[in-house]
Amino acid sequence: MTVKIRFFARFRELLGTDIMTDVEEGTMFTSLITMVAKKNPEGYAAIFDENGAFHEFVILMKNGKRIDIADAGKTAVVDGDEIAVFPPVAGG
């Protein structure tokens, strides 16, 4: 299966964007982001805390719909999914 991951703002600077990756069937959302983020220790630390949990400010989306951090570990990704990971958003 192939999924697309898009990181935004600071996360994009650390990890890149429009990452196409192959995953096994049954891969969970959290596992996917962990696998990709571990390629850059600073990027991983920006998204995950010291216990490997998402920082509470991280915004997650799957195919344009928000995923609650509490549900990310039990939400499977499927072929063709587009995953987006955002830092906190501030505007003015």
In a domain, 33, yes or no: yes
Res. 4: pLDDT tops 80: yes
pLDDT of residue 79: 96
When divided into structural domains, the chain yields a total of 1
pLDDT tens track for 6-59: 999 999 999 998 999 999 999 999 999 999 999 999 999 999 999 999 999 999
In a domain, 91, yes or no: no
Assign residue 49 the CATH number of its domain: 3.10.20.30
The boundaries of the domain holding residue 32 are: 2-86
- Rounded Cα gap, residues 27 and 10, in angstroms: 25
pTM for this entry: 0.90
In a domain, 92, yes or no: no
pLDDT tens track for 64-88: 999 999 999 999 999 999 999 999 8
In a domain, 44, yes or no: yes
In a domain, 43, yes or no: yes
Do residues 65 and 15 lie in contact, with contact meaning Cβ atoms separated by under 8 Å?
A: no
Neighbours of 66 (CB within 10 A): 12
